[in-house]
Amino acid sequence: MTLYRERLWAPPILYLATALVIPASLLVFLPINIATGIIVAACMEIAVLVLLWVLAPVIEVTETEFRAGRAHLPRTLVGEVGGYTGAEATTQRGPKLDARAWTLFRGYVKGVVKVEVLDDADPTPYWLVSVRNPQKVAAALQS
């Protein structure tokens, strides 16, 4: 059973910014052939949009594990959990970040959740993951 699920979609402005691929590819391919330039521009724009969609990581808390992108952590190994927003989230991503921590950051997502790893064999002390609702993720992990 899923307790929390979120996909870290890029903001709409980023999808709009990908439209810059169109004039760039037209600039390169129009001198060769007009039809080729238009087809390549359309294909490149579609490819970039698909990549943005496919590569958006999923954050999920189930009864048995915590998933962030392709990584997963069994709930039995989850220790202390903290959710941070604003200046404290920036501090967690910067000055307080342990170099051994496993991270999944998206610059357009301001909140983070810090999940302690209780596995003695794992050199990673904690995970620091970008999420839009850190308190909801923390509550789901602590339930």
User: How far, in Å, CA of 17 to CA of 133, rounded?
Assistant: 26
The per-residue pLDDT for 19 is 95
User: DSSP states of 59-95 as a string?
Assistant: EEEESSEEEETTEEEEGGGEEEEEEE-HHHHHHHHTT
Question: Phi then psi for 6, rounded to 5 degrees?
Answer: -150, 135
Question: Phi then psi for 19, rounded to 5 degrees?
Answer: -60, -15
Closest C-alpha among 71, 66, 76 to residue 102: 71
Residue pointed to by tokens 């698909």: 50
The per-residue pLDDT for 143 is 84
Tokens of 91: 């501090």
What is the dihedral angle through the alpha carbons of 70, 19, 21, 24, rounded to the nearest 10 degrees?
-170
**Rounded to two decimals, what is the model's pTM?**
0.84
Which residue numbers in the chain have pLDDT < 50? none
The per-residue pLDDT for 49 is 95
The per-residue pLDDT for 34 is 95
The per-residue pLDDT for 20 is 95
